[in-house]
Amino acid sequence: MDKPHSGGEYRYIGKRIPPLDAYEKVLGAAEYTFDLEIPGMFHVKLVHSEYAHARIKSIDYSKAIRVPGVVSVITGRDIPYRVGIYVGDRDLLAIDKVLWIGHPVAAVVAENLRAAEKAAELIEVEYDPLEPVFSVEEALRENAPILHENLDKYRRLPAFNPKPGTNIANYFKLVKGDIDKGFAEADTIVRGRFKLPYISHAYMEPQVVIAWYRYSGDIEIWSSAQSPFAVRSLLSLSLDIPAGKIKVNVPYIGGGFGGKAGLGWEALAAMISRHVGFKPVKLMLSRAEQFKSAPVVPGMVAEAEMGLSRDGRIVAYRAKFLFDSGAFADYTVNISRTAGYACAGSYDIPNILCESYAVYTNKVPTTALRGFGHPENHFVLEHMIDMAARELDQDPVKIRSRNLLKPGVSTTGTGVRLREDAGNPQLVLERISDLLDWTTPEVDPERPWVIRSKGIALSVKGPSQPPNASSSAIVKFNEDASVDVMVGTSNFGQGTVTGLAMMVAEAFGIPLEKVHVKPLRSTDASPYTWQTVGSRGLFTDGLALLEAIEDAKRKIKKIASQALKVDEDHLEIADGKVYVVGKPWISIPLEKIVMGYQFPDGTSVGGPVIGVGRHIAGLTTYLDPETGQGNPTIFYTFGGTGVEVEINILTGEIKVLKAVQVYDIGKAINPLLLEGQAIGGFVMGMSRALYERIIFDEFGSVANPNFSFYYVARAKDAPDNYLIEFVETPQMDGPLGSRGVGENVMISVPVAIANAIYRATGVSIKELPITPERLVKAIREQRPDLFEQAFKAYIDSMV
C-alpha cells in the first residue's frame, strides 16, 4: 500500500482509533435480529424432551392445537432433514428418538409468543426409555448404547473420520518421528490426566432467527449468525435448494465466540415457514433453552505423557484427547481434529503421537468456542511442561526457551517447515518474563497463609479452515469520493471492520469518516467470505480488500492519466487526490475522477470506480489421514500469558492481581482494538479457569441453565493491572504484514493460572474450573503439610 504523500508516515494504520460501531451499540441504536418484526409474522416455541435417550412412541398435540392463536404443531416426521457443517448428523426436530434432555421434539406455531408458549405446555409425548451414556468413558466401552446407528450414512467432509457402529464421531491421529524411540531415549517422563467441563459461550444475545419461505421457492433468513454464507451453503446442501434461491441477512450480532458459527436454527425455521403456508416465522431461544437445547462447548478428558532429556529438551510427547461432543458433533469433529494436529503448540518436538476423538454422549450437543481445540490441548501441554520443569529442577521459562520452534528452521507437528516470517516466539517469551518480573513466589508477611505466585504459558494459533476457504471484497466510490466498503466478514465485537476501513482510508488518503461499512451482512449484497471464524477475518478479507483497493487505484490512475496527459506509472494517490510524481502541485481531487472525468468542453472519460479483490488460502492442504501430516493453516500467531495470583491456602480463594499478554501480531493495524481483544480474551480465559462449568444432574439434565447459577467473571473479578505488548514480525503475505489474534488472547490464560498455583504450592490442578473447594481439596491431598502450616499461622495470628 502506498503511504500518504505528505510526511511519508501512516495516517491511520497503527493509530488508536475507536471501533466504528461503538456509538450505535452504546446508545442502543444498533438493530439486532431480536428487534426485527415482519407484518403477519408467526412465532415459534419448541417442545423439549424430558428424557436423555428414548424412543418416541407418540406425540399428542390435540389440546395444543385448540389454543386460540395457534396455527400449527410440527413434529420431526413433518420435516425429516439432517443438517450439519462438517458432518450431517443433526435432525431439525427429533424423528424416531431423543438424544438428550432438551432435544426439541415439536414446534408450536402461533400468532403470538404467549399462545405458542401456552400450547407447548399442553403437548404430551410418550417415550420408551433407552439406556443413556453420560461420559466419554461410558460411550466408548464395549456394548455401549449407540446414539447414531446410521452414522455411516451421514454426509461428511473428507477431512473427518467417523467410526460407524460406535459412538466415535471423528478420530484423528498425528504422527511425527518415532514415539517409542523418543520415550526410550528420555531421561525423565511425566504423566497426567486432565479434565475440562462443558461450558457456555455466555453471549449476551441468545440465538434468534426469522425465516420466510416464499411461494416462489425463495428463502429469506434474518439470523444472529456469525457467517451468512456458511448458513446459505449449508441450507442449500441440507435442504437440496439452490444457493441462489437463499438470501441470508445478518444484522448486528450480540456476541458469538464460535457458538453462532455454522448452521443454527435457520433450517428448522425455514421448513416451519413453508409448512405453515409460506408465512414468516420467528424462533427465539430463552436463556434456559440456550443452555439446554442449543449447542454449547464440549468437555474433554485427556491423558498425556512427556519425555525429556536431562538438559530439558522435549524428546517425545504423547497425548490422547476425548472430546464429549454430546448428542450431535457437526462442528465438534473439527474441534477434535484441530486439537490433534496442533497438540505440539509452540514447540519443536521430534517425536509426537497425538490421538483425538469426538465422542457422542446423551448430553447437550456441542460446537466451537474461541480458539477451539487450542485452549484444550494447550491446557495439557503447557502444564506438562511445568510438571517436567519441577521434575528436572529447572526454570519453566528456560525449558520453554530451549524447546521453542525456530522460524525458518523448525518443522511443526504436521511436518511443515515454519516460515521465516512466522513470528518471534523467543522474543514473546522474553517479553512476558520481563513484564511479569519472573521472580521467586512471595508469602504475604501479614498473612502467611496467603501466597503470591507467578505463572507463564505460551500459545500459538492459526485458522482451522479447509484449503479452499476464500474471501472477496469490493470498494465502491460515491460522488463525494467517499467509499462504501463491502466485505462478507461479520462484525460481532472483533474490530475487524474498523481495521478494514482504516486500510481504505489510508490507501486513498481520505478521512476515515468518508469510509462506510454497513453493519448488515447479506448474501445477495455482500461479497463472499467462507466464514467469520478462526481469527481469519482481518487476514483473508484484508488481503481481498487490498487487492480491491489496488484494482480501484488502477482504474483511477487510468482516468487521471487521460485527464493530466501523464503516464499512469507517473501518478500516485494520496491525501484524497491523484498527484503527478515529483510534481505534487499538479493534481486532481478524487471526487472529480471517481464518477468519471469531464473535460472543459464536456467530453468525459472513465466512469464510476469500483474495485474488486479476492483471496484464497493457497498453500494449505488436507492432512494425511494416517499421520496428520500436511499444511493446515495460512498463518501462525505466537503469543502467551503471564499472571500474578494471590492464593489463600485455607479458603482456596484465588485472586488474579496482574495479567501480562504478549502476542506477535505481525503488524498492529489498531493498537487500541488489539488491547481490547487482549483484555477481553484474558477475562474470558480467567472466567473459564476459575468459574465456568455447566452442571448436569444424574439424569443428564442441565442443572444451572441461567446466569444466577452459571457464574462468569464480572468486573470485580478482573485484575487491576494489565500489561499488554505486541511484538511486530511482519508476515510478508499478510495484509500490511498483520496476522489474526482474536482467539489466541484467551488460549493460554487458564493454564497460566494453573501453573502459577503449581509453582507456588507444588499442587497440580488438572481439572477446571479451579474452584476454592477443588483447590483446598487438592492442597490437602497433595500438600497436607502446606495446609497445616497455613492453618497454624492463621491460628497464631489470632492469639
- pLDDT per residue as tens digits for the range 457-485: 999 999 999 999 999 999 999 999 999 99
Percent of all residues in the chain with a pLDDT value above 90, rounded to a whole number: 95
pLDDT at 537 exceeding the cut of 80: yes
Give domain limits for the chain.
Answer: 22-30+470-616, 33-130+207-284, 299-405+414-465+621-793
For the segment 441-469, the average pLDDT, to the nearest whole number, is: 91
For the segment 578-583, the average pLDDT, to the nearest whole number, is: 95
| Pairing outcome for strands 54-60 and 124-129 | antiparallel
Distance between CA 417 and CA 411 in Å, rounded? 4
Distance between CA 506 and CA 500 in Å, rounded? 10
pLDDT at 6 exceeding the cut of 70: no
245-255 residue pLDDT tens: 999 999 999 99
- What CATH class does 299-405+414-465+621-793 carry? alpha beta
- pLDDT-based confidence at 617, cuts 50/70/90? confident
Residue closest to 489 by CA, chosen among 228, 260, 771: 228
- Collapse the DSSP code of 170 into the 3-class scheme (helix H, G, I; strand E, B; otherwise coil) and give the result: strand
CB contact burial 449-462 (16+ within 10 A = b; e otherwise): bbbbbbbbbbbbbb
- Topology match between the domains 22-30+470-616 and 299-405+414-465+621-793: yes
314-368 residue pLDDT tens: 999 999 999 999 999 999 999 999 999 999 999 999 999 999 999 999 999 999 9
pLDDT at 442 exceeding the cut of 90: no
631-670 residue pLDDT tens: 999 999 999 999 999 999 999 999 999 999 999 999 999 9
Cell numbers placing 623: 492432512
Q: Which conformational region is residue 112 in: left (phi greater than 0), alpha (psi within -120 to 50 degrees), or beta?
A: beta
- pLDDT-based confidence at 283, cuts 50/70/90? very high
Whole-number pLDDT of residue 2: 52
Residue 115: how many CB atoms within 10 A of its CB? 21
Radius of gyration of the chain (CA): 28
Task: Tell me the C-alpha to C-alpha distance, in Å, between residue 484 and each of 504, 532, 548, 596, 608.
Answer: 10, 20, 12, 17, 13
Task: Tell me the C-alpha to C-alpha distance, in Å, between residue 91 and each of 82, 239, 265, 275, 652.
Answer: 5, 12, 11, 16, 44
- What CATH class does 33-130+207-284 carry? alpha beta
Q: Mean pLDDT score of the chain, rounded to an integer?
A: 96
Residue 683: how many CB atoms within 10 A of its CB? 23
Residue 716: how many CB atoms within 10 A of its CB? 5
- Collapse the DSSP code of 634 into the 3-class scheme (helix H, G, I; strand E, B; otherwise coil) and give the result: coil
Q: Please report, for the chain, how many H helices and E strands are present, in that order.
A: 18, 32
- Collapse the DSSP code of 703 into the 3-class scheme (helix H, G, I; strand E, B; otherwise coil) and give the result: coil
- pLDDT-based confidence at 4, cuts 50/70/90? very low
Task: Give the global pTM.
Answer: 0.97
- pLDDT-based confidence at 23, cuts 50/70/90? confident
CB contact burial 333-368 (16+ within 10 A = b; e otherwise): bbbbbbbbbbbbbbbbbbbbbbbbbbbbbbbbbbbb
pLDDT at 382 exceeding the cut of 50: yes
Bridge partners (DSSP) listed for residue 481: none
Q: Phi/psi at 663 (nearest 5 deg)?
A: -140, 140
- What CATH class does 22-30+470-616 carry? alpha beta
